[in-house]
Structure 1
Amino acid sequence: MSRPIFAMAGLLAATAGAATAQDLTEVSFGTNWVAEAEHGGYYQAVVDGTYAACGLDVTIVPGGPQVNNRALLLAGKIDFVMDGNLLLPFNAIAQGIPLKAVAAHFQKEPQVLLTHPGKVASFDALKDVDKLFIGDNGFQSFYQWLITDYGFDAAKRVPYTYNPAPFLADENSAQQGYITSEPFAIEREGGFAPDIWVLADEGFSTYATMVVAMNKTIEEKPEIVKCFVEGSAIGWANYLYGDPTAANALIQEHNPDMSMDQITYSIDKMKEYGIVDSGDSLELGIGAMTDATVKDFYDKMVKAGVVEPGLDYTAAYTLDFANTGAALPVKAALTGN
């Protein structure tokens, strides 16, 4: 990590009163998948002492196919949890669950559609391919938006089983994926770089990698929420623009199957496509949210029939913690911008 950020972390620690391990408040954060670069900012804030500098001892609880961290949040066993995008807090409000998103560490949903090189000339032309390999969750969410806004045909959807072989075998098909993952796998298995179509760049305007907490935590422990949100934002700035070596080591400790090639690829794609730092975050800082962006996405989901009209969607998030610009000076020190 560069010297200016060490100095900043030291200043924060001194301001916090040089907290010892006994002084720190234990906090748990459940991710939505196994440890990966897409969680790198949180691991960075653990290893470089950013959370500790404002008084938190954060334990990251990795998710996975057999782990339901959201259920642990509802049961009070975890303090914060990672939600994929705005649909999850919207659905929680519809079900009367008292929680809120307190930060959005991905300004863009990293969901993409992939095609064989040169086979599709434009995003709109994707609807003309023979098959679109889309998972059940994708079909019930972003695919409904594609039907409504772009005229995609539901009959062309083929269930995606997270195996790229059918896509690799059919040059006139498209497959869903994450910008940080599936293109890498296709390059390795198929021997070619697929064309990438980022849904966020075509109007799928949700935030992603949301940090969610129960209303009780927000109301009773606002200083803990503030520390976690701001510490995470600083962690992301350091991870993307500084030295992520120690964070990557902890990611691999939590997930020994994660290769450094995959981590490097994921970091590069998050930076290239502005997944973490673009849009609202450029002015308000990493983790930012705005009423206008949330309303835009809500309106699109109502139009697509994904979310019920009349929902009090504003109850699904709070702007009290996300827009303080905590990461802006860290980014400036590392990038000169």
Structure 2
Amino acid sequence: MRTRYRIERRALLTGGTAFTLAAVAGARVPLAQTLDRVSFQTNWRAQAEHGGYYHAVASGIYRRYGIDCEIRMGGPQQNPSQLLLAGRVDFIMSNGFQALNYVRENLPFLTIGAIMQKDPQILMTHEGNGINSFEDMRGRPVLIGASGRVTYWPFLRRRFGFTDEQIRPYTFNVGPFLADRMAIQQGFVSSEPFAAIQAGARPKVFLIADAGYNNYNTTIDVSRRMVTERRDLVQRFVNATMEGWTQYLTGQNIAAANALIKRDNPDMDDAKIAYAIQVMNSNGIVMSGDALTLGCGAMTDARWQSFYEGMRDVGLYPAGMEFQRAYSLDFVNKRVGLA
């Protein structure tokens, strides 16, 4: 599905917010007589976890930076990295694993910003069943999808002594979880717990990132060619995106952004969106760690090195790989969104 939004500039948030906008040193904000058109491919159907991008469209932030941004919604039949490789989109939403894959496969792409400082992946079980830690999950069946088995599961094996014999297939519905009070299943902090609550359960949530799993998620990836040839445009896109996110997380004046999300994805409703914003804030999914001092989208060499070495040590990447080629810090760490 492709949707092009052409929404006129609206007033930006002022006052009474958790975050305030700060000037970005060196940022060029053109008068936007002629807008640069760019396309951004998300990794799934529209949701609050994409809210900062939609807000930057709906509130006119991209236009203020001289950009006409087309948000292309992802889904089960789309692979954003393949669209980027084919040159069909300018930017994609991705994660730290894909960035390292670019290096391993010698592909001319890289990550230039990380919206989610914490990966939102969780394991969840039921309140009051005696499972109160990751250690308590050792030896118990865990419902895990295919992608989890090659991302966070190796981390859990090494960190907590999980074994592959524990794995049971996850069918992406909470029915089996609801039927078994001892069930443990994967999920996203902003999604599966909400579905369980709506069904009358009391889920107990364990955020894997809080146990040391330091994958960057909801990253912005782009081609090296675009970074070289349209550097100013790339910087403007990143700055506008980070402004969109810092405003969206306040939950104020975001009705237009949420309307676009619900228009693209009718399965979304106000309750789901409100829950997702609340848990993203309470868990520091976007604003935590380096983002608190460097601004939304922050990345550091130390964090990338730690992630690479951790995934190397569990056998996902070879020793000696030039992981530094997976990313660039040139476009972030400019304190966007901080007073």
- Are 1:287 and 2:300 matched, yes or no? no
- Are 1:208 and 2:221 matched, yes or no? no
Match of 1:194 in 2: 203
Match of 1:221 in 2: 230
Shift of 1:70: 2.1
- Are 1:51 and 2:62 matched, yes or no? yes
The one-letter code sitting in structure 2 at the alignment partner of 1:77 is: R
Q: CA–CA distance in 1 between the matches of 2:54 and 2:215?
A: 24
- CA 1:8–1:322 in 2, change beyond 3 Å: closer, same or farther? closer
Match of 2:115 in 1: 105
Shift of 1:135: 0.5
Match of 2:276 in 1: 266
Q: CA–CA distance in 1 between the matches of 2:86 and 2:182?
A: 46
Q: Deviations over 1:79-104 (max 9, x none)?
A: 10000x21111112111111110000
Q: CA–CA distance in 1 between the matches of 2:337 and 2:299?
A: 14
TM-score normalised to the size of structure 2? 0.90
Query: Percent identity over the alignment?
Result: 41
The one-letter code sitting in structure 2 at the alignment partner of 1:229 is: V
Q: CA–CA distance in 1 between the matches of 2:15 and 2:31?
A: 19
Q: 1:60 aligns with which of 60, 71, 82?
A: 71
- Are 1:231 and 2:244 matched, yes or no? no
- Are 1:33 and 2:32 matched, yes or no? no
The one-letter code sitting in structure 1 at the alignment partner of 2:54 is: Y
The one-letter code sitting in structure 1 at the alignment partner of 2:14 is: R
- SS of corresponding position for 1:328: coil
User: Cα RMSD (Å) of the superposition?
Assistant: 1.8
Match of 2:32 in 1: 19
- SS of corresponding position for 2:89: coil
Unaligned runs of 5+ in 2: 1-11, 23-27
- Are 1:93 and 2:106 matched, yes or no? no
Q: CA–CA distance in 2 between the matches of 1:291 and 1:263?
A: 33
Q: Deviations over 1:258-306 (max 9, x none)?
A: 1111111111110110101000100000000001111111111111112
Q: 1:310 aligns with which of 286, 302, 320?
A: 320
- SS of corresponding position for 2:184: strand
Q: 2:156 aligns with which of 146, 149, 172?
A: 146
The one-letter code sitting in structure 2 at the alignment partner of 1:174 is: I
Q: 2:171 aligns with which of 144, 161, 173?
A: 161
Shift of 1:17: 5.1
Shift of 1:68: 2.5
Shift of 1:193: 2.2
Shift of 1:125: 1.3
Contact 2:32 2:67 in 1 (8 A): no
Q: CA–CA distance in 2 between the matches of 1:42 and 1:16?
A: 18
Q: CA–CA distance in 1 between the matches of 2:324 and 2:128?
A: 42
Match of 2:128 in 1: 118
Q: CA–CA distance in 1 between the matches of 2:32 and 2:158?
A: 54
Q: Please identify, of 254-263 and 34-43, the stretch whose mean Cα deviation from structure 2 is larger.
A: 254-263
Q: CA–CA distance in 2 between the matches of 1:308 and 1:243?
A: 47
Q: CA–CA distance in 2 between the matches of 1:245 and 1:222?
A: 32
Which aligned segments of 4 or more residues in structure 1 are displaced greater than 4 angstroms? none
Q: Deviations over 1:106-132 (max 9, x none)?
A: 000000000111221222212243x10
Q: CA–CA distance in 2 between the matches of 1:81 and 1:140?
A: 21
Match of 1:79 in 2: 90
The one-letter code sitting in structure 2 at the alignment partner of 1:42 is: Y
Shift of 1:2: 3.5
Contact 1:230 1:327 in 2 (8 A): no
Q: Deviations over 1:223-258 (max 9, x none)?
A: 111111111111001101132111101111111221
Q: Deviations over 1:20-56 (max 9, x none)?
A: 3xx0000000000011000000011111111111111
